[in-house]
A and B are shown apart, each in its own frame.
Chain A
Amino acid sequence: MAGRGKANAAGRTPTRRKAQGPAQSDAQMTRRTAMLGAGGLGVFGVLVGRFYQLQVAQSENYLSLSEQNRFNYQTVLPSRGIVRDRYGEPLARNTLDYRVDIVAEQVDDLELTLGQLSDVISLSDKDLERIRKDIRRKPGFVPVTVSDHLEWDEFAALNMRVHALPGVIPTAGEGRAYPEDGIFSHTLGYVGKANDADIERDDDPLLLQPAFRIGKTGVEQAADETLRGSAGRLRVEVSARGRVVREWPDPRDAAKPGRDVWLTLDAPLQRFAAEQFEDDSGGLAVVDCMTGELRTLLSMPTFDANLFVSGLTQADMDALNGDEKRPQYNKVLSGGYPPASTYKMAVMLAALESGLVDPYKRVFCGGKVRLGNRNFHCWKRQGHGPMDMRDALKNSCDTYFYEIAQVIGIEAIAASARKLGLGQRFDLGVAGEKAGIVPDPEWKQTRIGSGWRMGDTLNASIGQGFVLATPLQLAVMAARLGNGRQALSPTLFAGVDRDAPAALDIDPAHIAFVQDAMWSVCEEPGGTAYRPNGLGIQGFDMAGKTGTAQVRGISRAERAAGVTKNEDLPWKYRDHSVFVGYAPYDAPRFAVGCVVEHGGSGSRRAASIVRAVLGEALKRDGLTARAEVAAPGTTL
Chain B
Amino acid sequence: MTVRFDDTPGLQSKLFALNWLLPVLAGLLGMVGVLAIFSATDGVLGRGAMQHFVRMGAGFGVMMIIAMVDIRVWYGLAYPAFLGALVLLVGVDLIGVNVNGSQRWLQLGPIRIQPSEIMKPAVVLALARFYHDLPSWRTSDPIGLAGALALIGLPMLLVLRQPDLGTSLLIGATGVVIIFLAGVSWRVISLASVLAAVSLPIVWQFGLKDYQRERILTFLDPSRDPAGASYHITQSKIALGSGGVSGKGYMQGTQRQGGYVPENTTDFISTVIGEEFGFIGSLALVGLYIAIITVCFRLSLQCKAVFSRLLILGLTTTFSLYIFINLGMVMGLLPVVGVPLPLVSYGGTVILVVMSSFGLMLSAHLHQGSTLPKSE
Using a CB–CB cutoff of 8 Å, the interface residues on chain A facing chain B are 1-4, 6-8, 12-13, 15, 17-20, 22, 25-26, 28-30, 32-33, 36-37, 40, 43-44, 46-48, 50-52, 54-56, 58-59, 61-63, 65-66, 69-70, 237-241, 245
Contact = CB atoms under 8 A, between A and B. Distances in A.
B371 A3 contact: yes
B57 interface: no
Interface of B: prevailing SS: helix
A58 to B, nearest CB: 6
A322 B313 CA distance: 91
B254 A70 contact: yes
Interface string B291-310: 00100010011001110010
A8 B258 contact: no
A70 B258 contact: yes
A369 B75 CA distance: 135
Nearest to A28: B183
Contact of A62 (B180, B238, B301): B238
A47 B135 contact: no
B278 A55 contact: yes
Interface string B140-154: 010000000000000
13 contacts: A13-B137, A13-B376, A20-B137, A33-B297, A37-B297, A47-B286, A48-B286, A51-B279, A59-B242, A59-B244, A65-B238, A65-B241, A69-B258
A136 to B, nearest CB: 21
B240 A29 contact: no
B237 to A, nearest CB: 6
Contact of B183 (A32, A47, A56): A32
B374 A4 contact: yes
Contacts of B282: 51, 55
A132 B180 CA distance: 62
A106 to B, nearest CB: 12
Interface stretch (B63-71, B204-212, B327-335, B353-361): B327-335
B241 A33 contact: no
**Interchain residue pairs A-B with the least CB separation, the first 9:** A62-B241, A66-B242, A3-B374, A7-B376, A55-B279, A59-B244, A240-B259, A51-B282, A239-B258
A7 B375 contact: yes
Contact of A36 (B235, B257, B283, B313): B313
A3 B235 CA distance: 56
B183 A44 contact: no
Given A20-B137, A40-B293, A239-B259, A55 B254 contact: no
Nearest to B293: A40
Given A7-B376, A70-B258, A239-B257, A51 B180 contact: no
A69 B181 contact: no
Contacts of B323: 47
Contacts of B53: none
Contacts of B283: 48, 51
Given A48-B286, A70-B255, 9 more contacts: A3-B373, A20-B136, A43-B324, A50-B327, A50-B333, A51-B240, A51-B283, A58-B241, A239-B259
B183 A50 contact: no
Interface string B274-288: 100011001100100
Nearest to A32: B181
B290 A44 contact: yes
Nearest to A58: B241
Interface in B205-262: 235, 237-245, 254-255, 257-260
B330 to A, nearest CB: 10
A42 B286 CA distance: 13
A13 B320 CA distance: 37
B188 interface: no
A20 B139 CA distance: 11
B297 A3 contact: no
Given A19-B135, A55-B240, A44 B286 contact: yes
Given A3-B374, A62-B237, A62-B242, A25 B327 contact: no
A205 B289 CA distance: 54
B180 A32 contact: yes
A66 B279 contact: no
Contacts of A12: 375
A29 B183 contact: yes
Contacts of B258: 69-70, 237-240, 245
Nearest to B270: A51
Given A40-B293, A48-B283, A69-B258, A55 B137 contact: no
B36 interface: no
A348 B226 CA distance: 82
A43 B254 CA distance: 30
A66 B239 contact: yes
Contact of B309 (A18, A29, A56, A65): A29
B372 interface: yes
Contacts of B239: 66
A44 B331 CA distance: 13
B28 interface: no
A524 to B, nearest CB: 85
B189 to A, nearest CB: 11
A52 B333 contact: no
A7 B132 CA distance: 12
A17 B183 contact: no
Contacts of A65: 238, 241-242
